[in-house]
C-alpha cells in the first residue's frame, strides 16, 4: 500500500520488513507512526438518517434468581475445596457441564482440577449462561416483545452464543415471524444466500457474531444486541450492519441489559473499551487533547472525584 501511495519513498521491501515486520509492540508503534502521514482512521455515517440508541433494562425472573443462588453455593464449595488443596468435582461439573461432555469418567477429576484453578473465568461463563442462555432467561421474552412491536419492519437480533441464536429463532417463529438464522456454521455461500433472502423477504435475521462483519443489511430498520459483547469493536460492528451507507431510514439500535451486577460490570468494561478504541483510532497528531492524554485525564478526574 505504501509503495503504491509513495513509490519513490518505499522502494526496498526487504528493508521495510526488517524495520517493521517483527511482531513486537515497538515495531507496531513505529509502523503506526510511519502510516500516520498516509492513513486516517475514520468512518462514514449514512447521510440524512440517525442511529436511535436505547438501552432496555430487563429484570431477572424468579427462576433465574434461584439458579444464581444455587450457582453461588457451588462456587463457594469449589473455592473452599481449592483452599484445602482438594477439588470439588461435583461442584465444578455442575458449573461447567459442557466441559465434561464426551470426556471419559476417569478423566473428570483432572478436568475439574484444571477448571478449579480458574474459578473467576468459570464464574463469568456460568453467570453469563444463567442470564442469557439457559432457556429460562427473561431477556428472551423481552427480545421477542421488541420484535413483535416492530412487525413489518425488518430487523436483526445479534447474540454471541449459538444456544441463544437457536432459542430466539424458535420463539420468534412461534410468534409468526419470518426468521432467517445465520451463524458461523454457514459457509460463505450459505451466508451470502441467507443475506439475500433477508433483503428480499424481510422479517427477523437472528445472527451470531459471525454476521457482525462483512454483511450489508441496509434494509434492516432495527438492531437488538441480545447480550453484551466482549469488545467495543464487535458492539460497533453489530450496529453497523444496518446503520451504514445506503440506509434510507433512521435505525433503532437497542441494547438488552439484564438488571444484575454481572451485566452492569460487563457494560462498564465495554464503555472503557470504547474509550480505548477511540484512543487507538484517533489520529496521532491529536493525541495532546483527544488521545492518550484525554484518556489519562479522564482517569485522573475519576480518581479525584472518588
**SS3 category, 156:** strand
- The predicted pLDDT at position 176 comes to 95
- The predicted pLDDT at position 36 comes to 77
Report how far residue 125's alpha carbon sits from residue 254's, in angstroms, rounded to the nearest whole number. 23
- The predicted pLDDT at position 288 comes to 44
Pick out the chain residues at pLDDT < 70: 40-43, 276, 278-295, 297
User: What domains, with CATH codes, occur in the chain?
Assistant: 1-39 (no CATH), 51-61+136-263 (3.40.50.300), 62-132 (no CATH)
Report how far residue 125's alpha carbon sits from residue 128's, in angstroms, rounded to the nearest whole number. 5
Is the distance from CB of 221 to CB of 150 less than 8 angstroms? yes
- The predicted pLDDT at position 214 comes to 82
CB atoms within 10 A of CB 141: 12
- The predicted pLDDT at position 162 comes to 92
Give the predicted TM-score (pTM) of the model.
Answer: 0.76
Is the distance from CB of 19 to CB of 105 less than 8 angstroms? no
Among 63, 73, 66, 74, residue whose Cα is nearest residue 96 = 74
Kindly state the cell numbers that stand for 90.
Answer: 461435583
- Give kind and range of the element (H or E) at residue 206: strand 204-207
- The predicted pLDDT at position 15 comes to 93
**What are the pLDDT digits (tens) for 7-66?**
999 999 999 999 988 888 888 888 878 887 777 666 677 888 999 999 999 999 999 999
Amino acid at each position: 500500500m505504501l509503495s503504491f501511495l509513495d513509490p519513490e519513498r518505499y522502494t526496498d521491501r526487504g528493508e521495510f520488513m526488517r524495520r517493521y515486520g517483527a511482531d513486537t509492540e515497538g515495531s507496531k508503534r513505529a509502523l503506526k507512526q510511519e502510516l500516520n502521514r498516509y492513513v486516517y482512521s475514520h468512518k462514514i455515517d449514512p447521510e440524512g438518517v440517525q442511529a436511535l440508541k436505547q438501552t432496555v433494562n430487563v429484570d431477572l425472573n424468579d427462576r433465574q434468581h434461584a439458579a444464581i443462588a444455587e450457582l453461588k453455593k457451588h462456587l463457594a464449595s469449589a473455592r473452599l475445596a481449592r483452599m484445602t488443596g482438594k477439588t470439588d468435582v461435583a461442584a465444578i461439573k455442575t458449573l461447567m457441564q459442557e466441559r465434561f461432555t464426551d470426556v471419559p469418567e476417569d478423566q473428570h477429576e483432572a478436568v475439574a482440577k484444571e477448571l478449579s484453578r480458574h474459578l473467576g473465568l468459570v464464574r463469568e461463563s456460568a453467570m453469563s449462561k444463567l442470564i442469557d442462555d439457559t432457556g429460562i432467561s427473561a431477556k428472551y421474552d423481552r427480545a421477542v416483545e421488541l420484535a413483535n412491536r416492530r412487525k413489518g419492519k425488518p430487523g436483526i437480533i445479534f447474540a454471541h452464543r449459538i444456544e441463544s441464536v437457536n432459542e430466539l429463532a424458535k420463539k420468534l417463529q412461534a410468534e409468526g415471524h419470518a426468521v432467517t438464522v445465520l451463524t458461523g456454521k454457514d459457509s460463505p455461500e450459505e451466508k451470502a444466500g441467507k443475506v439475500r433472502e433477508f433483503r428480499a423477504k424481510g422479517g427477523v435475521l437472528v445472527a451470531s457474531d459471525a454476521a457482525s462483519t462483512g454483511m450489508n443489511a441496509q434494509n434492516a430498520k432495527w438492531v437488538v444486541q441480545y447480550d453484551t459483547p466482549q469488545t467495543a469493536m464487535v458492539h460497533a460492528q453489530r450496529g453497523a450492519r444496518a446503520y451504514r451507507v445506503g440506509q434510507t431510514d433512521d435505525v433503532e439500535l437497542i441494547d438488552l441489559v439484564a438488571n444484575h451486577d454481572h451485566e452492569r460490570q460487563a457494560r462498564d468494561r465495554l464503555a472503557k473499551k470504547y474509550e480505548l478504541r477511540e484512543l487507538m483510532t484517533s489520529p496521532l497528531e491529536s493525541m495532546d487533547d483527544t488521545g492518550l492524554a484525554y484518556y489519562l485525564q479522564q482517569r485522573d478526574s475519576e480518581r479525584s472525584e472518588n
